[in-house]
Amino acid sequence: MDWKTLYKERCVTAKEAVAHIKSGDRVVTGHAVGEPSYLIDAMVSEADRLKGVEIVHMVAMGKSEYAKPEMAEHFRHNALFVGGSTRTAVKEGRADYTPCFFFEVPRLFQDSMHINVAMVTVTPPDKSGYCSLGVSVDYTKAAVEAADIVIAQVNEEMPKTYGNCKVHVSQIDYFVLHNDPIIELTPPKIGGVEKQIGKNCAALIEDGDTLQLGIGAIPDAVLLFLKDKKDLGIHSEMFSDGVVDLYEAGVITNAKKKIKPGIMTAAFLMGTKRLYDFVNDNPSVEMDPVDYVNHPFIVMQLDHIVSINSCVQVDLMGQVASESVGTMQISGIGGQVDFVRGASMAEHGKSIIAISSTAAGGTISKIVPKIDAGTPISTSRNDVDYIVTEYGIAHLKGKTLRKRAEALIEIAHPDFRDELRKEYEVQFQCRYFS
């Protein structure tokens, strides 16, 4: 059967499509701003007939109504990363968290998490019957390939992107045609502290480097200080609007990238409509699955890769906690360690953990004598490379525990340095001189 006939036959209403979800099913939704909001709403409106449906999602950017207290009997959210809309459900024990490296999620779908239903967003099919997964390819493509049933919201607003991001009409069981604006992120506020951190990170970036940047005020602040650099490249789990400014200014050319020169590579994107318009039908950006983009074996081949991520606590040994405050899960590991490891194996690679020196309005130091009890370590002391705060740069790789502690105390907030020095003197049985 030709794809056009197949497509026509498989177009249904949202109610008809979600009727295929059964109690006890595992449902994976498209990731981040690629989530199919219209289908999720339709599923939630069927809550009365559903019991114990597991909803697997990573960075959930929509309403996440399935995680509300009144939905507890019907849906149980399984978070691969805990975001703002799902944090309370995890904290209150109404949702679960599954630890995982981002690059391994496609493998989990093949080997250990059987998917009954995948619900994703796609563009309308092209002339050959291929739909693009747009701004969310990451684990979403793997979910399409692994699920028993695939339901797609065909959204004309989804940017048509290039890369290994296409699925054929024959891979999708039900199509629901519905246009929704792609969820936009409010650009973060960049204050003086973030600017100083950005400046310090920028000092570690050289012409021709390839960058991986996380999301938020610090990565955006770093971009502000790169305007005088030349031939930067992007190979990043995700990127946002700040990259568009530097591309248009001719700072990002991708010319020196060891893999896919001339092309920006990402697994997902989140930003404003400006970003989505920029990537639409733009062959200079390729969207690829996360088991390619984040795989340390790929990252290590990008000579001169610099990864920049953040955390909540660093102890004096350089152990980095990025996901929890004590036992409270506040986010996830995402691609942090994928890139830390890839960068440390790459020729001239650097990995940076960039943080403000304090949290909670200056009342808590992020550089601590010991990580809080119950807090999982995200980046180990063996993997850590650079820690950057607004007070400077601590290069830890290759340094003894004593030298690491000294370097970290130097970049801690001055209000907390005495306490850290005391711990240093206990740990190393010697006076601290600085």
Residues that bind ligand COA (CB under 6 A): 214-216, 237-238, 309-313, 322-323, 325, 330-331, 333-336, 359-360, 364, 366
In order of 236, 276, 305, 326, the CA distances from 254 in angstroms are: 12, 19, 12, 40
Q: How far apart are CB 114 and ligand COA at their closest, in Å?
A: 26
Q: 217 or 407, CB closer to ligand COA?
A: 217
Q: How far apart are CB 262 and ligand COA at their closest, in Å?
A: 24
Q: How far apart are CB 421 and ligand COA at their closest, in Å?
A: 19
Q: 253 or 344, CB closer to ligand COA?
A: 344
Q: How far apart are CB 254 and ligand COA at their closest, in Å?
A: 20
| Cβ proximity of 267 and 294 under 8 Å | yes
Cα–Cα distance, 290 to 295 (Å, whole number): 7
Q: 200 or 313, CB closer to ligand COA?
A: 313
| 46 phi and psi angles, rounded to 5 deg | -100, 15
Query: Which pairing describes strands 328-329 and 324-325: parallel, antiparallel, or unpaired?
Result: antiparallel
Catalytic-role residue among 194, 237, 323, 406:
237
Query: Which pairing describes strands 264-269 and 324-325: parallel, antiparallel, or unpaired?
Result: unpaired
| Single-letter amino acid, residue 285 | V
Q: How far apart are CB 382 and ligand COA at their closest, in Å?
A: 18
Q: 265 or 336, CB closer to ligand COA?
A: 336
Is residue 237 part of the annotated active site? The answer reads yes
| 328 phi and psi angles, rounded to 5 deg | -85, 115
CB-neighbour burial class of residue 419 (10 A; exposed 0-12, middle 13-18, buried 19+)? middle
| Cβ proximity of 309 and 352 under 8 Å | yes
| Cβ proximity of 123 and 158 under 8 Å | yes
Q: 28 or 320, CB closer to ligand COA?
A: 320
Q: What DSSP assignment string belongs to 168-220?
A: EGGG-SEEEE---PPP-PPPPP--HHHHHHHHHHHTT--TT-EEEE-SSHHHH
The set of catalytic residues is 237
